Structure 1
Amino acid sequence: MEGSEMLQLYEIQYSDLMLLSSSSSPCSHYQEKMVMENLGPMGPGLLAVTDVPGASLLRRKLLPLARKLALLCPEDRKRILRDHNLGSDVPLKNPDRNVSSFAMQLKYDQVPESIESKPSHENENMDGIGGFEDDGFDNLEHMFNALGFCMMEIGLCLARICDRHIGGKELEQSLLESCAAKGRLIHYHSMVDSIVLRKAGQRKGSSKSNNHARRKENLSKSSNLETNGNEVRSCEIHSSLWQQWHYDYGIFTVLTDPMFIQSSHQATEESKLSISSDQECASPSGHSYLQVFHPNKNKVLMVKSSPESFIVQVGESADILSKGKLRSTLHCVQRPARLENLSRETFVVFLQPAWSKTFSISDYPMEHCNTRVQPLEQAEENDVSDQDQNALTLEIQKIVPPLSARLKDGMTFAEFSRETTKQYYGGSGLQSNK
């Protein structure tokens, strides 16, 4: 929904976040109130952290590598991932994928002392980034860890602040007891990227089989390309979303403000399409293309954040552990319309409890996280935009399994995550064929 209402995130500076999370420092009651309002049950379930020392350079160097990795030949990509202790949690052999993701476990016992002791203004885990001189893969693992540890610190600081309102230290302790967070470097494919990968996969497959003619015929039917300068037109039917609607099921998700890359391309002999160059560009619409559903407003909102900020989303585990005092964020990622050569790059850290963490829901309001829908008969009395929002809400309900169907009292986090994955993507899951 390109015309969605804009949500300008509440922003807190990194230095203020450090002070606010320190029990020994005087805190701003207004800032703390705003943090809880935005992460709490009446808010959208997310906010932004700005002016993180040293993070800007790391972001600019690391994010373009997502696309470079995604478009490498499989043998080279496998070697680089192995050399830098990275894996992938998406089927990279699938040429029709919309997303490429490269993952690593980030261990708390390897995080600089500044995270586990009192917060510091100096952000020691940024040391050494001045030595990065190119956009190659030589420093991939180092950059992955450095930016990941910085984002883990943001999550831990927010957990301390939230714990003061919830009572006890359950959120912070749950994060530390997990021993690790998961970092993901994510490339959201442009249509051009998808076509290049699909053609490469078809050429590879045709060399090993006798169905080359049939594959070529299918390609001709499914894709009609007209190449002219920086424009690629595709008649393929494709989703308007890079990532379907869902909740994250951890405690916090911390992600970079996205980077957008515009590729130029050229047709070569035998009608092969190749990427000739690429460059970073501003968001064509001025927002992040991250969409959230705000239950209290019964609306889908397009998220706008400051360049180079970090966005923090509340996951379902935080919602459960806080007894509903935090609001998990229902979200998706939209694909820009009519911009087939634009890709989106981001880095995400998922902060979650230990797999053995047990959930008690005896006093949790189970209806809290279920998407609430304005009745159709009321929507008919409103304007067209309200009716469109109501119809979209109903569609979201059809593909997002309610928390009450996935969570049982006494479940461990491991059991909850398995059941959640099953109901989203399993053989009979609501998004198994989406």
Structure 2
Amino acid sequence: MSTPTPLSPDQVRQWISTNVPTAEFQGKRVLLIVPDHTRTAPLPLLFEALHAHLGPAVSQLDVLIALGTHPPMTEEQIDLLLGLSPERRQNEFPNVGLYNHAWDDPNALTTIGTLTKADTERVSDGKLSMDVPVQINARINDYDTLLVLGPVFPHEVVGFSGGNKYFFPGISGPELLNFFHWLGALITNVGIIGVMDTPVRQVVNQAAKMIPVERKCITFVVAPDASPYGLFYGTPEDAWANAAGLSSQVHIVRKPKPFHTVLSCAPPMYDELWVAGKCMYKLEPVVADGGELIIYAPHMHGISITHGAKIEAIGYHVRDYFLKQWDQFKDHPWGVLAHSTHVRGGGTFEDGVEKPRVQVTLASQIPPEVCERINLGYRDPNTIDIEAYADREDEGVLLVRKAGEQLYRLNDQ
């Protein structure tokens, strides 16, 4: 199937005016939930078009950034995210509240329900059994409608991102996100990424049904330059399903055979390994057994502002390293354990010996001694000539110039 032609800015504005009914928002207080800077998205265009379209109809329109556990954005970063200058923000959007989510502040959260032991046993096929409180940003109670505005890509934890994922983990508390990230890790990245119907998606959708506020959603699927291939409006479930179907067509690249060397280039928006790990997730399926994947990120200086100390304490390991020593690791945050396994990829842990399937090497500003401590390889980024990896697929060498959003799979996967 041929790749669709991206929409122009005027076509996007026309789509919004045609497909987002103002009558559904008339007189309502609306909270617009958007991604942070770690997702490719034409947010300046979409925010301005939506504000122009819905502003006259609603009684309030505010923005909440679905950070998950990412660091809060500064005022300047928020302005850049939405395409605003301080002057425009003051003059054109004076009544729009712009808020960061605070996942680790109990006072900023509200509990709306519980996933019971029976629920977690059923959805995990018996792998996990526990009660999990469902917490979400308490600001939702100040609005009549929650309107998600976000892209859909193949995703390592839930299968495809977007939709109700903007509530969980986007604006959720820690317990639920730790639970389903570990559930995704048990299934493995390769087993879940690019799959529409996953146990984690079921968890996210079940939790979203507990939200006591009307939910609407605009999803979109974008080209690497952020131009939308298509937009979809409706319930989070329906809009997501339509977008995930399109994403599966345009965001999955098929290759005939695996590669022994992959240079996976992290774009600047991946400014820490917590998000640059996507450069591994999306490429792992096409790395040969015993091959090497290099995350090339010369701009990256750290592992994670939020989770760095915890990651340094445990390092990066294959899933069974944790499972076979569970008493030692069960009290660490499960979301951190999941991230560790996703970056390290598949492998085994037998008789105390860990054998990862793939060598993962960092070419960043993270120094060699730290890489060694966290169980990853190190390359000086200054020694890497990107063009030396180009046009060598027949030799088993793959260069991906903007990694992290397109999923690479083998033809027979």
- TM-score class normalised by the smaller sequence: under 0.3
Ranked by relative contact order (alpha carbons within 8 Å, sequence separation 6 or more), the top structure is 1
Q: Under a length normalisation based on structure 1, what TM-score does the superposition of the two structures give?
A: 0.25
Q: Under a length normalisation based on structure 2, what TM-score does the superposition of the two structures give?
A: 0.25
Q: Which of structures 1 and 2 has the bigger CA Rg?
A: 1
